[in-house]
Structure 1
Amino acid sequence: MASSTNTDQLWFLDSLVAIRVAHSAGQDGISIIEQWAPYGDSPPLHFHRMEDEVFHVLEGELRIQVEQGERWLGPGQTLLAPKGVSHTCRVESSEGAHWLVITTRGDFERFVRALARPAEQPTLPPTAGEPTPEAIQQLSETARAHGIEIIGPPLH
């Protein structure tokens, strides 16, 4: 039986993530990333070319847009964003949110690792403010290199 004790904690954009199961731990490339983010946090609208993405909320509320529909998820609720389907999410709870992201193949995990830096402490990173044009371009290029296409703005 394979197991993973991987607990790399990283600051990824405006969130704290912990890689709980690395894609390299098993034969099917499953990755489980635990994520904490503040109220209002939202990635740009995007889709994954090669992998499905599962969201499972542990605490707080996420508003998730998949294609043209929206769903609100609270603790214990799960949503699948299929590969090739546009999606994004937004933290709607004032205290922030805490959830799991489950993917296969490792593309999303490698994307996170490429943009993240080691967390100096197990808390949210210092607020960075609005991203610069250079940061937006780096995000887009890094995403594309990892099978993710950014196609629109974050949710507001």
Structure 2
Amino acid sequence: MAEALWFATARLTIHLSQKDNANRLSLIEHHMAEGFAVPLHVHHDEDESFYILQGEVRMQIDNEVRRLAPGDALTVSGGTPHSFRIVSPEARFLSMTTGRFEAMIRRLARPAQNEGLPLQAEPTDEEVAAVVAACAAHGIEFQGPAVA
């Protein structure tokens, strides 16, 4: 059964949890509003694959910037710096990982209180510090600002 979580200002739905399969695959649907961005970072122990369902996402992989639209898919190899920003009013995409990403999400997320997105607000300094610490504890290292 899918599990809906609020993570910062995003709604994440875990469709397949690592605990439920031998390959430790996570399949997570991300629903985000325009402007949601993730700083340049690397996953040290996992590849991360993306499949765009709705909207447009600007993604930076190393020094290349691409605009992804519904039906586009790509894999970012572990250790490769990447960042993304939602550039349409809303976007939905799937991510697939086999490392510690799901555990990091679970550490910071809270159960979704209703359908749709949580309140859209700037994160506090404490919230940013919590994300940085959780990512570091789960093999994810921030390396720079989000793609413009």
1:100 is matched with which residue?
94
Q: Give 1:27 shift.
A: 1.0
Give the count of matched residue pairs.
148
1:120 paired to 2:120:
no
Cα deviation code 1:35-81 (max 9, x no counterpart) = 10001111111100000001100000111100000111111110111
How many percent of aligned residue pairs carry the same amino acid? 37
Unmatched segments (≥5 aa) in structure 1: none
Q: Give 1:134 shift.
A: 2.0
Distance (whole Å) between structure 2 residues aligned to residue 72 and residue 150 of structure 1? 22
1:143 is matched with which residue?
135
Distance (whole Å) between structure 2 residues aligned to residue 74 and residue 103 of structure 1? 20
Distance (whole Å) between structure 1 residues aligned to residue 140 and residue 51 of structure 2? 20
Distance (whole Å) between structure 1 residues aligned to residue 121 and residue 5 of structure 2? 15
SS at match of 1:98: strand
1:86 paired to 2:86:
no
The Cα RMSD (Å) is: 1.0
2:14 is matched with which residue?
19
For normalisation by structure 1, the TM-score amounts to 0.91
Unmatched segments (≥5 aa) in structure 2: none
2:103 pairs with 110, 132, 153, which one? 110
1:10 is matched with which residue?
5
For normalisation by structure 2, the TM-score amounts to 0.96
Higher strand share: 2
Cα deviation code 1:109-151 (max 9, x no counterpart) = 111111111100121001122x222222111110011110011
